[in-house]
Each structure stands twice: as structure tokens, then as C-alpha cells.
Structure 1
Amino acid sequence: MRPSLFRIFIRFLKLGLTAFGGPAMVPYIRTMAVDREQWLDERTFRLGMSVTQIIPGATAMQVAAFVGLRARGGPGALAAYLGFGLPAFLLMLGLSALYFSTRDLPAVMAAFKGLQLVIVALILHAAINFAKRYLDSPAAQLLACVAGVWLGLRGNPILALAVVCVLSIFVFRQEQGTLPAKPERIDTAPLRFAGLLAAALAVFVGALYILDPELFRLGLLMIKIDCFAFGGGYVSVPLMLHEVVEVRGWLSGVQFMDGIALGQVTPGPIVMTGAFVGYAIAGVTGALVATIAVFSPSLIFLCAAMPFADRLLASPMAQRVLKGSLISLVGLLAAVAVRFFLSVEWGVVEAVIAFAAFIALRMKADILWVVIAGAAVSALLL
């Protein structure tokens, strides 16, 4: 028997309350959906995991939406998406309000300075992990360096991503599809639902254009960031940094780092930093607009891609483009780590805290506890 939309929402709401670590939540989603609820089988779940790797969006959010899609179609995907993301949004909203009202207090400033040190360690840690996984050849290393240097020169990261993906089509000809194509009848229901979501998003953006030009620009920017977030939520960090800090000046570099830090003490994907940006611009309304805009395109992509999942995974070109996006991610993250490093006022205590955080992360300590410890120690010592 198919689950109700309310049951899907509640199950993912419970998971969303503890969704720390982003992609680390995928095994928990699998246990709930495959073993406990039996909404789909193991092969179908693996198919969903594969598809979410080659379309933009935060991985855990996309996997949650896939489960809902297979359990109850488009409405099920939306219910899962909302349930899984709601706790992160509400907590980020509360922390953003607290941040902008108390950031001048000495203890709060010291705590956030510690969080900035942890974020430097976190981004460097992520860059190293991605480099070990995806830079498997001199060509990949060279392309990653090109992307990193380009961002270091304040170039547009989306351009770097696009160029590396195009080059990867020709450089990595050995990349092949992961599953054979199957001449099955295409189920067009998810495609129709994707069309409805796209139409709703267009109406939403149009209303913003009429009501508030600033919110319109915010929404349009977040849509663009999500459309290019191949490889998971971390891709959004260099994209958002470039657009929010350098191009528009909505936040300072330090404030943006604080937003990422808050994203690490909330459940859900790092791209929830978009809600922090939105709150800085237009309060609660801005946070809501930014969140809707930064998550909607990836849900549309997922629903539109599912009828063609087997064919998409069998496409060598799709695999090469994915590889290129992941390679560019390494370079972009490395450049962001350098930029954040240069934004911090360093001293002996700061260096010790950052180094300790980096070692803890390399030893696979839970990110949440590293962030909390960094803030607590900094509030006492800085």
C-alpha cells in the first residue's frame, strides 16, 4: 500500500531534525525507506543515488526527494523535500536573527571568530577529501588548478565550472556510463510534475519582480547558484561567495564565513547558508525567498531526469561532464580555503584552534562537535 503524503512528510521531518553531515544522511534515508518502510527496493534506491550524483543539488535533499517521488509521485517528492529541509530552515532562521541582533557582544564576537577558524579548517578538509577522490590523473589535477587560479583571480566560478566540464568531454574519453540503457516505456508523470514546478517557480519569480526588485534579484541569484551546484552542496560555497560578497557586496567575507558556520550547526545541507544571506538582506521574507529559490531548481531537475534515468546514467558524455564538475569543485574549494585563510586575523591561539579543528576533522570527528568546540574554546580564550 502506498504511504500517505503526511506519513512521508513526518518520516522525513524526523530525519531532517538530525540531518547533520549532508551526504552522511543517505544511509539513514536508505534504512528508513528500504528496510523499515519498504517504500522501494535496493536496486531502485541505488538508481536514485546514481541519478542524484549527475544533476545539481544537495545530495541528501535530492535522495529524500527521490524516495518520495518513487513512493507517491511528484507530490511525494515535494512532501519529502519539505519535511527533510524544514528543520534546517527554521533553525537557520532563528540563528540568523540571533546573529544579527547580538553580534556586537564581545563573547559572541569571540565565538564567531572561533567558528571562522573552524570553517577554514572545514573547507580545507573538504578540498583534500575531494582531491583524493577525484584528482586521479595529471589532467584532472591541471584542470582543478585552472579552476582554482581563476577563482583566486576573482573570476566567475560558473565560467570555470562550464569550461572545465566542456574540456572534460574531450579529455576523459575513457569515462563510460555506469548502467546499460534500457528501452523501457517512459513514465511521463514526473516530467509533467517538473513542468508544474517550473511554472510555479516562474510565477514566484514574476511576483517578486513586481513586488520587490531586491527580492527578485535575490531569488534569481539563488536559482542560478542551485542550477550550477553539480557535485553537491559544497559547490554552492564558491558560487555564493563570488556573487554575494564580491559582485554584490551584500555581505562581507567574514559575515559570509559566519553564515557557513551557522549552516554547520544546523541540520541539512550547507546550501542552507542561502537563508542566512536572505535574512541579511530582507529579514524573514528574504530568508524564505532565498530558501525557496535555492532549492526549487534541483527538485525540478530531479523530477525531469527520472523518466530518463537509465539512459542518463548510460551516457558517457554525462559521466564526463560530471567528472569535470567534480574536478572544478576541488579547485574552487581550494581557492575558497585560501581566501578564507587570508580573511582571518591570525595569532598563536587562532593557529592552534584552527590546526586542532583540522586534525579533528581528518580523524573523522563529527563536524557538529568540532564546530561547537571551536566556538566554546574561542569564547573563553579570544
Structure 2
Amino acid sequence: MESINLSYTITDLVRYFLYLGTTGFGGPPALVSAMHRDLVTERKWVSEEDYREGLALAQLAPGPLAAQLAIYLGYVHYGVIGATLAGLAFVLPSFVMVVVLGWTYRQFNGLPWMQAVFYGIGAAVIGIIAVGTYKLTAKTIGKDLLGWCVFGVSAVATVITESELIWLVLLSGGIYWFVKAPSSRANAGMGISIAPFFAQVQALSTDSILWQLALFFAKAGAFVFGSGLAIVPFLYGGVVKEYGWLNEQQFLDAVAVAMITPGPVVITVAFIGYLVAGFPGACVAALATFLPCYLFTILPAPYFKRWGKHPGVKAFVDGVTIAAIGAIAGAVVVLARRQLVDVPSLLIALITVGLLYQFKKTPELAVIGGAAIAGLLLRAIN
């Protein structure tokens, strides 16, 4: 029987997510792995079962994966208040950093040092998420042959398509349900219906730039599935092509800012909002993006808690979870292909893997700092 430490307070929870939001680099793969390591394995605040349910729900619902998982884990023992505070604590640090960077970017007409810093940090991040994904995969799948098959198919599909396929995630859950819980198939009847909260908002006037931002980013948060990285193509189509709010270089800089700051990658929306309409634009863009994912997490959460112990639901959740981890592993490969473009970047990634694997207590923030310095030095030498 798994032992859970229920002595933690809501203040402890908020303090943890503030810490993760301030120091958690690497996007969804690294953040999801960090929550498992910190809250399930080390602190034992959350059970493996609750974590899997949260990851499955985050994968099935639209919106940024890591933020939804943080919200769900806050919900587990402290309900809506815990979910709300955990979500705010997780997002707030990176929001503040991105706004400061947006102000600096405007003042100095770009950030020429950003590419050098991102070069080093990006390579280290690949190493961090590779180690985290390896640990999460080994812990979740173990010796389950069907699990490894589902994991492999999901990983390969992600590498080939460079996106997370929601139909494949659902199919994986269905396969697991069919194989692992055959006796529960006749009684299956659970379903979660969530109304589209933003459909009526479309009728509102869009003359104001803030309303345009609110509507666009609400759609981004409500209808884009997968990790924070999945939102980037959607944002590019609207921000650059449709509305022309930013040019190509500004958009690439916005994505880079999200990658070199801790917390959820989707926080790039705040940087975009700042460049378009200043601090009000940053607030509107962030709120409009995260509000749908918050609602899509807390509304179905009671159903997951109520039905999560049912054999059929548990099997479905296990299948979805394993497919999600496979997609995360595939995303590591996709990111590595883009980031590890030469020998120095490959060496930084390999050194990171070696440090974290050999010396398990090595602070990730120290590795990130060292990689940033390495990037700046390499730029100076070249």
C-alpha cells in the first residue's frame, strides 16, 4: 500500500509551485517529470494514482499540459481553492519575468544576447528533460509489455508528425481498457461533457485591441491540445499571418523568451501581449489563455476523483498516461533535432545528462546557469 503524507498544508503547496514556477526550466516534459519526482516520489504528497489521473485529464483536455497538471494536483487534497492557488503560484513567476523581458525588449529594440543564452540553456534543457523523461517512463511502465508498445507507438508518431495526436491518446486508452479491464466494458457509461464557454463571446465587439487579444488567446487556450509547444503553430498563424501584430523575428524572439524563462512554455503569450498592447495586453493574453485550461481541469476533476477507482476507468487512464509519456519522449527527440545543431551544443546536453544521472542531487538551476554562461562564452569566442 502506497504511503501518502497528508500533513502538508495549502501554504506548502503554494510555496512548492512558486518554487517550480521560478526554477522549472524545460517546458512540459521537464515540468511534468519534476512534479512526479517532487510530489509523488520524494514528498509523497500525491499518490501515483492521483498523479496518473491528473496527467490523463491534462492530456485529454485542451490547453497547456504542465499548467493543467499543476491545477489538478492542487485540487487533489484542497479542492477548487487548492487548484486555483496552485495554478496562480505556478504561472505567476514566469509571467513577471516575461513582462520584465518584454519591457527590456521594447526599450532596447530587441535582445541580441538572447540567442547566445538560449543556445546554452536550450542544449542543457534537452539533457534535463531526457533524464526526467527516462525516470518517469521507467517508473510508470515498468515491465508492462503492452505499456511499452503503446509508449513506442506514441513516441514514434510524435517524432514523425512533430505534434501530439489526441486521437492516438484516446485510442491508447481504449486499447488498455479493452485488454486490461474486459469485464467492465458492458458497464461503461461515463462521459464528461464540457460546454464551449467562449462561443457566445464571439458576438462581442472586437474593435478594441484588448478584446481582439482576449478572443484570440481564449481560442488558443480552449481549442489547442497538447503541451505548451503545441500552441506555437496556432499563435504563429494568428499573431504573424492573420493579425500582423508581430513580424517573424519578433515572434521567434517571443518563443525564445518562453524557452529561456522557467515555468510553462505557453507563457510566451504574455510576451506577445506586452509587445502588442503593453502591460494590459500581457495580462489579457495570459488570463484569456489560462482561464479555459483552468475550467477544463476543475470542472471534470470531481468525475475523475469519483470514477478513478473503477477498473475500466483506471485502465483507460493508464493507457492515456502511457501514451502521454510516449508523446513527451517523442517531443524530446523533436526538440533535440532542432536544438543540438553542432558539437558544442551536443556536448552541453551530454554533460548535463551525465551530471544529473551520476550526481542525482545536482541542482537543475545550477546546470541552467552554467549552460547560459557557456553559451555567452561560445558566442564571444566565435
Please tell me the TM-score bracket, short chain as reference.
Answer: 0.5 to 0.7
Q: Is the 8 A contact 1:108 1:379 kept in 2?
A: no
Pairs aligned (count) = 323
Matched, 1:17 2:27: no
Give the alignment of 1:218-257 within 5 angstroms.
218-225=217-224, 228-229=225-226, 235-237=227-229, 239-245=230-236, 249=240, 255=253
In structure 2, distance between residues paired with 1:270 and 1:260: 5
Aligned to 1:91: 97
In structure 1, the residue matched to 2:74 is 64
In 2, the alpha carbon distance for the partners of 1:208 and 1:374 equals 47
| Matching residue's letter, 2:233 | H
Asked whether the equivalents of residues 68 and 79 of structure 1 are also in contact (C-alpha less than 8 Å), the reply is no
Question: Normalising by the residue count of structure 2, what TM-score does the alignment of the two structures yield?
Answer: 0.66
The answer to whether the Cα contact below 8 Å between 2:102 and 2:271 also exists between their aligned partners in 1 is yes
SS of 1:78's partner is helix
Q: Distance in 2 between matches of 1:141 and 1:27?
A: 22
Q: C-alpha separation between the residues in 1 aligned to 2:51 and 2:133? A: 22
Match of 1:170 in 2: 175
What is the CA–CA distance in structure 2 between the aligned matches of 1:340 and 1:165, rounded to whole Å?
A: 30
Sequence identity percentage: 20
Relative to structure 1, the CA distance from residue 112 to residue 208 in structure 2 (aligned partners, 3 Å threshold; closer, same or farther) is farther
* SS of corresponding position for 1:55: helix
**For each residue in 1:300-325, what CA deviation from the matched residue of structure 2 results, as whole angstroms up to 9, or x when unmatched?**
23322333213134213343333333
Matches within 5 A, 1:1-150: 13-19=14-20, 20-21=23-24, 22-23=31-32, 24=34, 48-56=50-58, 57-58=65-66, 59-69=69-79, 74-75=80-81, 77-99=83-105, 101-102=107-108, 107-125=113-131, 128-129=134-135, 132=138, 136-150=147-161
Measure the CA separation in 2 of the matches of 1:260 and 1:129.
25
The aligned residue for residue 298 of structure 2 is 303
Structure 2 gaps, min length 5: 1-8, 25-30, 59-64, 183-191, 241-245
In the TM superposition, what is the alpha-carbon distance from 1:65 to its structure 2 partner?
Answer: 3.9
Report the CA distance between 1:149 and its aligned residue.
Answer: 0.6
- Alignment TM-score, normalising by the size of structure 1: 0.66
Is the CA contact (8 Å cut-off) linking 1:15 and 1:29 kept in structure 2?
no
Q: How does 1:178-193 map to 2 (within 5 A)?
A: none
Which of 257, 260, 264 in structure 2 is aligned with 1:259? 257
Unaligned 5+ runs, structure 1: 1-6, 35-41, 152-156, 178-190, 230-234
C-alpha contact 1:123 1:333 (8 A) present in aligned 2? yes
- Of 140, 161, 166, 1:161 maps to 166
Q: Deviations over 1:97-149 (max 9, x none)?
A: 33554585655543333233334444555555555555943453134212321
- The alignment's C-alpha RMSD in Å is 4.2
Give the AA of the match of 2:234: E
The alpha carbon displacement at 1:47 in A equals 6.5
Q: Tell me if 1:323 matches 2:322.
A: yes
* Change over 3 Å in CA distance of 1:66–1:214 after alignment to 2: same
Per-residue deviation, 1:67: 3.7
Distance in 1 (CA, whole Å) between partners of 2:52 and 2:169 is 21
Q: What is the alpha-carbon distance in structure 2 between the residues aligned to residue 130 and residue 123 of structure 1?
A: 10
Structure 1's 370 and 294: CA in aligned 2 closer, same or farther, altered over 3 A? farther
In the alignment, the residues of structure 1 paired with residue 331 and residue 238 of structure 2 have an alpha-carbon distance, to the nearest angstrom, of 17
Cα shift at 1:374: 1.0
Counterpart residue type for residue 373 of structure 2: A
Equivalent-residue separation in structure 2 for 1:127 and 1:11 (angstroms): 26
- Label 1:339 to 1:96 Cα distance change in 2 as closer, same or farther (>3 A): same
Per-residue deviation, residues 187-240 of structure 1 (Å, max 9, x unmatched): xxxx9xx99xx85x6777766856343442233113333xx34xxxxx222x12
Structure 2 CA distance for aligned equivalents of residues 351 and 28 of structure 1? 28
Contact 2:133-2:325 within 8 A present in 1 as well: no
Q: Tell me whether 162-171 or 244-253 shows the greater mean CA deviation.
A: 244-253
Distance 1:361 1:222, change over 3 A: farther
CA distance in 1, matches of 2:38, 2:176: 37
- Please give the secondary structure, in 1, of the residue aligned with 2:178: coil
Contact 2:128 2:356 in 1 (8 A): yes
Q: Deviations over 1:60-89 (max 9, x none)?
A: 3431244431xxxx4554344334432332
Structure 2 residue identity aligned to 1:60:
A
Question: 2:169·2:324 contact (CA, 8 Å) conserved in 1?
Answer: yes
Shift in CA distance, 208/122, structure 1 to aligned 2, threshold 3 Å:
farther
Shift of 1:18: 1.8
Residue 377 (structure 1) aligned to one of 355, 374, 378 = 374
Question: Residue 373 of structure 1: CA displacement?
Answer: 1.1
Q: Is the 8 A contact 1:65 1:81 kept in 2?
A: no
CA positional deviation for 1:11: 5.6
Equivalent residues of 1:274, 1:291 under 8 A apart = yes
Determine the structure 1 residue equivalent to 2:3.
Answer: none
For 1:137 and 1:263, the matched residues in 2 are separated by 33
